[in-house]
Structure 1
């Protein structure tokens, strides 16, 4: 079967695509940036660029497709996301009709028992918009998904790992039926072989009906962590989202719409889907254990990826999502000149800003038993995978364009420093530098917040100075050539 997955770079899409391909389907994965999809290394998958707001790209992506999965939404996309979701769904619905697609499969959210939040209302409206077209739609409605990287699951993990005493708001008494990621994927794949599900709307749920307090307590038991809840009635959903932004690594733009949806119970009725697909379901505790096992079994990625366990010291207690800083600078110097500076960073070449502070950090690291700066560099210019650069390790390298360094200093968490150099049509280039930190426990959070003022200086001036060094080197080389 020829299948399109729109939104393939997202959480569900990135797990569904390889599963469908392994089952023997001809899969076309689509997202705004095809290069992001290609970097995943999926075998036998056609990766294409498609934008739900660009009809021409949708027409190309849907050509020859039998079934299309629609996994696009604007979670945390800022004001006006409901209108954007509606327009995107209208565009996709009409493009699917033009292409002669036989069925659309859409993943939405369970209808709450009370008033729906703006985010959940938008998810429900998207299903209505898709059904307004001539292509039959199979809509699966899920609540909290238990899997590494699922926002709801990562909030639970961070709360348990980061808070010795947990302040719990009123919504911890709301009920939900969390579903294991593997079970949700089985449903999404299984409906392809069940023609009677075309045109149907189904709740998909786990077997356990639990309050969120139970979800926290069970995760704590599995992880071997203490669970000491302290309930406070004054934490409204809005205050809760701000609070989660402080004590978890889940981005607040994502946490806010998530928490808004927890004001009422999210309990579904999966009797209808169970008649067509009576798959064995995992309990919540089994789903947690499967999620942690899946993390440990993941291959080492070629570059830094949010949540990759290899970049978190293979420690599942370290937050999946990261805190971070990034800066981007354009320069007239060509990419080769900028890369020449980037690849020589560290050692005797230094870090192009506040080298005294880097030295102090290295001395402190030695004091507490770390490697400090004593390792230097193997070579002042050449760099390869596995090289030690001071207290960094080269874990990702694309010659001429990308350098990824994993911190080996003593830290209450895991840190990554990544440089990306991209050429411009004008002959110049763009340097992007990202610093990502995955905190571990309350000390990891305190460490990050204590260094935020310094990071605001270092991680903006450092790439600026790298660019200036590249420009000086480029001008010098031009003068040398001119005088030769």
Structure 2
């Protein structure tokens, strides 16, 4: 009797860790590799299935996880997918994590593994980047499905953002003025050790509902790491630390020198000012007793980087598509149904009925001087008490009136007293510069005022 391998879905399969994970995990599992854009060449491995999926879309996520046993979660929203993304990366991370949570429950997933970041011992005032990674852990925990949170600092490997930043600095500059945060300590771990540990964790009940810090062989500062890479590359480099070199200047400087996308660099740099020491490492030490040495790890990464001649990615934007996400205060006792109704009733009042809302069965129209601006169609079958979904079906401000994924939603956060209001895959009809200056700014103001309105309601209850 031929035994069928279990299937693991890899969310973020086309990224740095994902590519390494596919190669190793396909030896023991069937792989469903999730990505937005399918690779141009198909995998020769029959156990690897590339699957196009937008994890901001709950319906697509539910389909993507069908017939899967496990999920490896590698998503971090540090790049902007739509031409205009009116949101912070932590709110984008929240939506994706919640979609994975909901979809995993619907598909009876047995185990989720999440690769996040090490949280500093003193977590007061930590960066939004690290807070977001911690929040993703909490949201996934709300599913009740066994979760293993693997936390890492710098992961060494060709193609990894953290390594590429340092590598390109060393390669480009003979004299470097470094900011104060480069004295912070970390324990860089080799990407192959990361993948081997993930492999040993999948479906392993011993690590269910555990938080595990993973690490390399050395505790080292970023300055020391720069010098070590320079030595291995046989380059002489001089470092001058400037205490007044703040984080903002660091981001701009690194963006100019390395060519790596600013939205990727920014949250990474915000996290580098902390010592990132591994503390909860019992299982990692037991499963990976002899981690790859830092010198061997760096040497391999340098050789691969030079061989592949990886160039900075060019900025790529999708067509004139919009995503906006705002986190809202949620009055106690409210669900998404009441929240949606409050928004529809509140909007005309705050704008003195200049903008009107008209509800007819499942259709909501927003009008200005009797001109239909937007038409929403309520989706009864895709809505619940913790999520209200409206498809954007028409109106003067919509250019693609029959584009199915265009939608507006309210959803309740599973882990805190808040809600998310989001527009996805919306194509505005206004010329792009005019849309950005006027309509996008107007929407941002509207959601700000609506949030203030919700805070007032909550304060009255208190």
Pairwise TM-score range, normalised by the shorter structure: 0.5 to 0.7
1:325 positional shift = 7.4
Q: TM-score, normalised by structure 1?
A: 0.60
Partners of 2:317 and 2:23 in 1: CA distance: 33
Change beyond 3 A, Cα 1:150–1:236? same
1:188 positional shift = 1.1
Does residue 1:112 correspond to 2:120, yes or no?
A: yes
Partner of 2:58: 55
1:328 positional shift = 10
Q: TM-score, normalised by structure 2?
A: 0.63
- Structure 1 residues 294-320: Cα deviation after superposition (integer angstroms, max 9, x where no partner): 457xxxxxxxxxxxx45x3xxxxxxx3
Q: Is the 8 A contact 1:250 1:321 kept in 2?
A: no
Change beyond 3 A, Cα 1:69–1:91? same
Partner of 1:244: 254
Q: Secondary structure at the match of 2:265?
A: helix
Q: Is the 8 A contact 1:205 1:270 kept in 2?
A: no
Q: Is the 8 A contact 1:8 1:37 kept in 2?
A: no
Paired positions, count? 308
Q: Is the 8 A contact 1:205 1:269 kept in 2?
A: no
Partners of 2:290 and 2:269 in 1: CA distance: 30
Partner of 2:18: 13
Higher helix share: 1
Partner of 1:172: 182
Q: Secondary structure at the match of 1:36?
A: coil
Change beyond 3 A, Cα 1:235–1:272? same
Change beyond 3 A, Cα 1:226–1:69? same
Partners of 1:275 and 1:110 in 2: CA distance: 16
Change beyond 3 A, Cα 1:16–1:187? same
Partner of 1:212: 222
Partners of 1:163 and 1:13 in 2: CA distance: 31
Q: Please list every run of 5 or more consecutive structure 1 residues that lacks an aligned counterpart in the other structure.
A: 297-308, 313-319, 330-484
Partner of 2:277: 267
Please, which of 115, 128, 136 is the counterpart of residue 126 of structure 1? 136
Change beyond 3 A, Cα 1:120–1:161? same
Aligned CA RMSD, in angstroms, stands at: 2.3
Partner of 2:107: 99
Q: Please list every run of 5 or more consecutive structure 2 residues that lacks an aligned counterpart in the other structure.
A: 1-5, 320-462
Partner of 1:349: none
Partners of 2:12 and 2:281 in 1: CA distance: 28
Q: Is the 8 A contact 2:110 2:203 kept in 1?
A: no
Q: Secondary structure at the match of 2:202?
A: helix
- Higher mean C-alpha deviation, range 283-292 or range 140-149: 283-292
Q: Secondary structure at the match of 1:135?
A: coil
Partner of 1:187: 197
Partners of 2:130 and 2:317 in 1: CA distance: 34
Q: Is the 8 A contact 1:174 1:265 kept in 2?
A: yes
Q: Is the 8 A contact 2:157 2:298 kept in 1?
A: yes
Partners of 1:154 and 1:40 in 2: CA distance: 26
- Structure 1 residues 419-447: Cα deviation after superposition (integer angstroms, max 9, x where no partner): xxxxxxxxxxxxxxxxxxxxxxxxxxxxx
Please, which of 173, 178, 190 is the counterpart of residue 163 of structure 1? 173
Q: Is the 8 A contact 1:102 1:135 kept in 2?
A: yes
